[in-house]
Amino acid sequence: MENRIRQVRKKRGVSQEKLATSLGITRQAISQYEMGNRQPRLETWQKLADFLGVTVPYLQGLEPDLYTIAPETKKTIISKLSAFYFDKDVSKSMRFIDPIERVKDAVNEYARLAELTPLPNELKRKSQKEKNDYLNKYFSFLFEDSMIIVMSNEYLYSQTNDVTKSYEDRFANRLAKSIENYSIQEFETKLGKYFGEIYNSKLQNAFKTFQRNISFCKSVEDISKQFDKFSDFLNTTKNGLNKAVLEKEITDIVSDLMRKDDNLGRSIAEIILNGQKLNKSYSRYDRIKMVNDYLVKNKKEVPKEISAYLEKYSNK
């Protein structure tokens, strides 16, 4: 096993010279410690640990390296994810059911966005090995999450493996958050990000108000009125989408529209065209032509990129 002093020093990007100077000892002494030819004094162990930001037992190799992802660490991550998603009885080890539902929602969302085949919920009758192989194949990005690695190693190195219910809740929530964040990282579009920045806080505040108002309703009629009020807000917000697009920098719209991304281009065209549904039979040329016609009709300036594109492909 690699000497912990050397291992941590390298991770921190600290040279032997810098470490020695900071501790007031010689570089040769550091070299001797790292080769195992000489043991530091107790006070030197503490100085080393304090400077490198770890405990003395960890530096001495008496505590596990929780940040190292070993094969068993990966197996633990996948087995816990599989249990949270597939095991109906796993809720018995949890304090709350919400973290499990959050994991399932996150997994399903990623599978939908990534267009995985088969979908994870179609594997319920498969063997445990098949389920784990599937999750290992498509959710290996979880191995890059340092917090998940630490939590998995804590579970592995627990002497009793008597994991508390709060640990299970925290682990499930962290898995869900990591998958949610990865989905955003991989699949968020410029258009989606733009509208998110405009409407997310408004939608969240409106929903919180709706939830709070429901708490004070004295009759079914009162509850119905709150639903109507919230529904009106959503419809008003939806109707404002077209206006918001046209207020966006037209160069950004064109940049997105001209990308080789059928789904994104179709989404932009649909919003600009007041929600008119465009199926896959519409070519990129068709969509850009429709947007061009819309801008002309509404006396909006047509970007040169659109004019150049239509002129180039009009006779093809």
Query: pLDDT higher for 57 or 92?
Result: 57
Q: What is the pLDDT of residues 196-243, one digit of tens each?
A: 777 888 899 999 999 999 999 999 999 999 999 999 999 888 777 666
Name the pLDDT band for 85 (thresholds 50, 70, 90): very high
pLDDT digits (tens, 9 = 90+) for 178-204: 999 999 999 987 667 767 777 888 899
Question: How many other CB atoms are there within 10 angstroms of residue 276's CB atom?
Answer: 11
Buried b (16+ CB within 10 A) or exposed e, 141-163: ebeebeebbbbbbebeeeeeeee
Tell me whether the omega of the peptide bond preceding residue 118 falls within 30 degrees of 0, making it cis: yes
Global model pTM greater than 0.75: no
